[in-house]
């Protein structure tokens, strides 16, 4: 018989979001009349807007014609890679530096193959659980010690440091995950902060995996949307991004990863060449229908729809944030991000999660699921129909804070 992979044995309990779904199902089974509203998982709810939808439909229609048919597209449509470079990076990358994916999460998982089991990993604490769980699965982190995983360096992001980590804690030669706008805190790093991150990474021989999945929610023009706005970042950063939230593609599945040619390992080898090798070996490309939709999302009408959709969710976020503030609950986020991070001092996150579910029949996400520094926090997601969000906000007043 084969032995179980020790990395899987090391991983703690269930993945956060299925665990929330399990508790929701359990509550629904014992409260069959409850009208449960989810402000939990960050899953889009609004229909894909017409121009982008037509791009998808047209992409599917073309497959039914001799002239328009296409098969495997391993590295992604050239036109889409060029369009991404033009729209997001002022044409500063060649198509060979942009890799089309089936979503940011999938590439976040695969990227660790570049570095392997012995890699030191540093994460913002709290952070999107895939960074840590993915590191455990590849063997870069060891077993759970009660508050965190051995081998992971947690960089606390708290009210005291205004949700930007103390970079003196960053170890040398580490892979560092950084997400801005941040999931779950909703904090957005300033240009100065990202400059200090890039400087620290370069000095310490680190590589940053910059997760920009929420960049289209930034409304403050002074805030950077990409790590590549920072000088020197091409030699120390990979960026992942996604069509999921800006275009409503959570179910369609489309994203991209930028691996600059300037990025090198300590031995001088090209990270870009290795990523092309890995992607070519274990990934067969994103759906060509999804890519047609992605192209539509990046022309002028598509970008207008992206703005309309993200404005809608930001409108939800503003409602949630003011409902919480009216109750005297201190929170951040929600202005340049679809997440609101609310503090319940002295309480356990899972207890507050249970209380909000019981009292308001609203599903949230417990902050402790994002890391030790998330304890006593609750994340509210702004992805929901407007009427549901309004109803959830009015029910929150039932809480006895």
CB of 189 to ligand PL4, least distance (A): 13
SS3 246: helix
Among 235, 250, 270, 325, binds ligand PL4 (CB under 6 A): 250
Smallest distance, ligand PL4 to C-beta of residue 255, A:
4
Q: How many residues of this chain interact with ligand PL4, rule: CB under 6 A?
A: 16
Q: DSSP string of 139-180?
A: TSS--B-SSSBTTEEEEE--TTTTT---GGGPPTTEEEEEES
Q: Contacts with ligand PL4 in 83-122 (CB under 6 A)?
A: 103-106
Which residues inside 158-197 make contact with ligand PL4, applying CB under 6 A?
179, 183
141 versus 363: smaller Cβ distance to ligand PL4: 363
The packing angle between helices 78-89 and 288-297, to 10°, is 30
Residue 249 and residue 359: Cα distance in Å, rounded?
A: 32
Mapping DSSP to helix (H, G, I), strand (E, B) and coil, where does residue 309 land?
helix
Options 17, 144, 312, 350; binder of ligand PL4; rule CB under 6 A = 17
362-363 and 339-343: which strand pairing?
Answer: unpaired
Cβ neighbours around 387 below 10 Å, total: 9
Q: State the Cα–Cα distance between residues 113 and 207, nearest whole angstrom.
A: 14
Q: Which two tokens stand for residue 315?
A: 């409108």
Q: Which is nearer to ligand PL4, 278 or 326 (CB)?
A: 278
Among 255, 285, 333, 384, binds ligand PL4 (CB under 6 A): 255
284's CB contacts (< 8 A; 6+ apart) are 72, 74
Cβ proximity to ligand PL4, 199 vs 250, nearer residue: 250
With the C-alpha atoms ordered 67, 72, 78, 84, is the resulting torsion angle positive or negative?
positive
Shortest Å, Cβ 106 to ligand PL4: 6
- Say whether residue 377 binds ligand PL4 (CB under 6 A): no
Which is nearer to ligand PL4, 44 or 233 (by Cβ)? Answer: 44
Minimum CB–partner distance for residue 267 and ligand PL4 (Å) = 30
Residues 40-79: x where in contact with ligand PL4 by CB under 6 A, - otherwise, as a string: -xx-------------------------------------
The CB-of-216 to ligand PL4 minimum distance in angstroms stands at 12
Tell me which residues in 276-335 interact with ligand PL4 (CB under 6 A): none
- Interface residue with ligand PL4 among 125, 211, 305, 375 (CB under 6 A) is 211
Min dist CB 357 to ligand PL4, Å, is: 17
Residue (22 or 31) nearer to ligand PL4, CB: 22
163-198 CB burial, b ≥16 within 10 A, e <16: bbbebeebeeebbbbbbbbbbbbbbbbbeebbbebb
Q: Which ranges of 218-346 does DSSP label H, i.e. alpha helix?
A: 244-247, 271-282, 288-297, 300-326
List contacts with ligand PL4 (CB under 6 A). 17, 41-42, 103-106, 128, 179, 183, 211, 213, 242, 244, 250, 255
């Amino acid at each position: 018989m084969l032995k179980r992979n020790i990395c899987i044995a090391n991983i703690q309990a269930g993945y956060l979001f299925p665990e929330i779904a399990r508790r929701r199902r359990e509550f629904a089974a014992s409260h069959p009349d409850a009208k449960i509203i989810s402000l939990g998982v960050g899953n889009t709810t609004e229909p894909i807007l017409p121009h982008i939808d037509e791009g998808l439909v047209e992409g599917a229609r073309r497959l039914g014609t001799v002239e328009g048919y296409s098969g495997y597209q391993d590295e992604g449509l050239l036109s889409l890679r060029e369009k991404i470079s033009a729209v997001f990076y002022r044409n500063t990358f060649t198509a060979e530096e942009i890799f089309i994916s089936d979503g940011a999460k999938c590439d976040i998982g695969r990227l660790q193959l570049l570095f392997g089991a012995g890699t030191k990993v540093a994460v913002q604490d709290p952070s999107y659980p895939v960074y840590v769980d993915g590191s455990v699965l590849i063997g870069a982190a060891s077993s759970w010690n009660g508050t965190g995983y051995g081998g992971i360096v947690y960089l606390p992001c708290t009210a005291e440091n205004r949700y930007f980590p103390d970079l003196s804690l960053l170890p040398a030669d580490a892979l560092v995950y950084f997400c801005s706008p941040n999931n779950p805190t909703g904090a957005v790093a300033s240009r100065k902060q990202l400059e200090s991150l890039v400087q620290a990474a370069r000095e310490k021989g680190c590589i940053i995996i910059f997760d920009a999945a929420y960049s289209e929610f930034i409304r403050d023009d002074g805030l950077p949307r990409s790590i590549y706005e920072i000088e020197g970042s091409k030699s120390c950063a990979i960026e992942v991004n996604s069509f999921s939230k800006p275009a409503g593609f959570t179910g369609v599945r489309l994203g991209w990863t930028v691996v600059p040619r300037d990025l090198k390992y300590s031995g001088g080898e090209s990270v870009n060449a290795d990523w092309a090798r890995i992607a070519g070996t274990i990934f067969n490309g994103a759906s060509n229908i999804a890519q047609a939709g992605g192209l539509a999302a990046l022309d002028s009408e598509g970008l207008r729809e992206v703005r309309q959709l993200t404005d809608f969710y930001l409108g939800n976020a503003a409602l949630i944030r003011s409902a919480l503030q009216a109750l005297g609950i201190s929170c951040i986020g929600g202005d340049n991000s679809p997440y609101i991070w609310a503090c319940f001092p002295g309480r356990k996150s899972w207890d507050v999660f249970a209380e909000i579910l019981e009292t308001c029949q609203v599903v949230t996400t417990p902050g402790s699921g994002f890391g030790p520094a998330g304890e006593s926090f609750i994340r509210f997601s702004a992805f929901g129909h407007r009427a549901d969000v309004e109803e959830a906000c009015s029910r929150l007043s039932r809480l006895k804070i």
